[in-house]
Amino acid sequence: MQQQFRMRRNGQFQRVYKKGKSTPAREITLLYLKGPKMLVGFSVSKKVGGAVTRNLLKRRLRAAFREQLPRLKTGMYVIAARPAAADATYRALAHSLKYLLKKQQLFEEQTP
């Protein structure tokens, strides 16, 4: 994930949590807030596992999000891992992310 797209400040996360739209799946929850700039943050709590597990999940989620990035609408995205994500494969996480993005209709419209 390129640095220009990363969300780092707690205030940015809090704004998305308070004003954004949330959609859950088994492994992850996607929160989205419309905006002019593309920003994305990843949240993995200690309930999910130890530091090694949390960092592995963040790397997998970043990679899955990076694949979808060119087709997405601009805005602020927060992807929060749930405890079931600790046992999930990369493929399952990528599938859940794509499902949630489609469910919230966050893919740009394709022009013919």
CATH of the domain at 28: 3.30.230.10
Give the per-residue pLDDT at 110.
67
Residue 111 located in a structural domain: no
Give the per-residue pLDDT at 108.
86
Backbone angles phi, psi at 31, to 5 degrees: -115, 135
Residue 108 located in a structural domain: no
The total number of structural domains in the chain stands at 1
Residue 47 located in a structural domain: yes
Give the per-residue pLDDT at 60.
96
State pTM to two decimals. Answer: 0.90
Whole-number Å distance between alpha carbons of 58 and 15: 21
State pLDDT tens for residues 65-112: 999 999 999 999 999 999 999 999 999 999 999 999 999 999 987 655
Say if CB 28 and CB 93 are below 8 A apart.
yes
Residue 51 located in a structural domain: yes
Give the per-residue pLDDT at 4.
85
Domain that holds residue 69: 3-103
Residue 76 located in a structural domain: yes
